Amino acid sequence: MNPVLAVARRELLVLSRARSVVLGGALVGLAVGGMPIFGALVSGEGLAGVYLQAPVLGVFLGYLFSQQAFLREKLDGTIETVLASPLTLSSLWAGKVAGCAGVAALIALACTGGAIAAAVLAANAAVPVSGQLVVHLFVFVPLVAAVAVGAIGLVQLLLGLRENQLLNLGLVIGLIALLSVGQVVVGSVPSLEVELAAIAGLVAVLIVLSRLAGRVDRERIVRTIG
């Protein structure tokens, strides 16, 4: 099995055992993402809000699920064994990003989809679903969640797997601020060209983060173990 997939699978298994965190994330998703989208649809404002709500939700859930994903290796006493295995640091990073961002994106999409379905069923609201919206939900949202998880993971690796909530929150708030500013600049519903350019930008950021993760000094991590 590809090592990135092996790490991602392990991350999904661990997350599946942390049901309270996942259910808590789903509830936050419904409250912060689903309900505003439902309200906007029912009041006839359309789906414009989804373009900001869904990625913000993805970023927030990514933050929620990745907080412990990297630190856990040190808390569980597994980090030295993992580092001595055939895994590279960039594979470890990528696997954790895939696992955490995958779950975050899935819940963000489920909340968004659930809100849209509820609006259709409850108020017979008109839902003008476009190809661009599908790309936004199924490509942009997972990628932006991956960037959030990846940035948090990289910072934790650079800190030698020491916890710094302020820095994690700073990263998440910074990403959400970027999304908000971006929407102000390009309009509430971006053009397809802008959407594709943003996707390319996110992929580039992920590649850079992956390279940086691969260059983190193992000693920086191990020396914090004692």
Partner 1 sequence: MPLIEARSLAKSFGPRRVLEDVSFEVGAGEVFGLLGPNGAGKTTTMRLFLGLLRPATGEALVFGAPLAERADLRRRIGVLLEQSGMADRLTARENLAFFGALHGVAREEIDDRLGQAGLLERADDRVGTFSTGMKRRLGLVRATMHDPEALFLDEPSSGLDPAAQAEIRDLITNLARRSGAAVLINSHHLDEVQRIGDRVAILDGGRLAALGEVDALRRGAGPRRYAIRLASAADGLRAGAVLRGAGAESIKSEEDELIVSLPPGLAPSALLAALVGAGIGVEEARYRTRSLEEVYLAAMGRAGA
Q: Which residues lie near partner 1 (CB under 8 A)? A: 1, 3, 5-7, 9-10, 13-14, 17-18, 72, 76-78, 80-88, 217-219, 222-223
CB nearer partner 1, residue 11 or residue 195: 11
Residue with Cβ nearer partner 1 (6 or 194)? 6
* Choice between 1 and 121, CB closer to partner 1: 1
User: Which two structure tokens, joined as six digits, stand for 141?
Assistant: 């949202």
The structure tokens listed for 93 are 């990073």
| For partner 1, the closer CB: 91 or 156 | 91
Cβ partners under 8 Å of residue 19, min gap 6: none
Both tokens of 6, joined, read 């092996």
d(C-alpha 97, C-alpha 93), whole Å: 6
In whole angstroms, the minimum distance from the beta carbon of 77 to partner 1 comes to 3
- Please state, as a whole number, how many other Cβ atoms lie within 10 Å of the Cβ of residue 23: 11
Residue 100 near residue 21, CB atoms below 8 Å:
no
Nearest approach, Cβ of 182 to partner 1 (angstroms)? 37
| Nearest distance from C-beta of residue 20 to partner 1, angstroms | 13
- Residue 200 CB, nearest approach to partner 1 (Å): 30
Q: Are 198 and 190 in contact (CB under 8 A)?
A: yes
Q: In this structure, what token pair is assigned to residue 194? A: 């802008």
- The least CB distance from residue 162 to partner 1, in Å, is 17
Q: Which is nearer to partner 1, 5 or 196 (CB)?
A: 5
Q: How far apart are CA 105 and CA 139, in angstroms?
A: 10
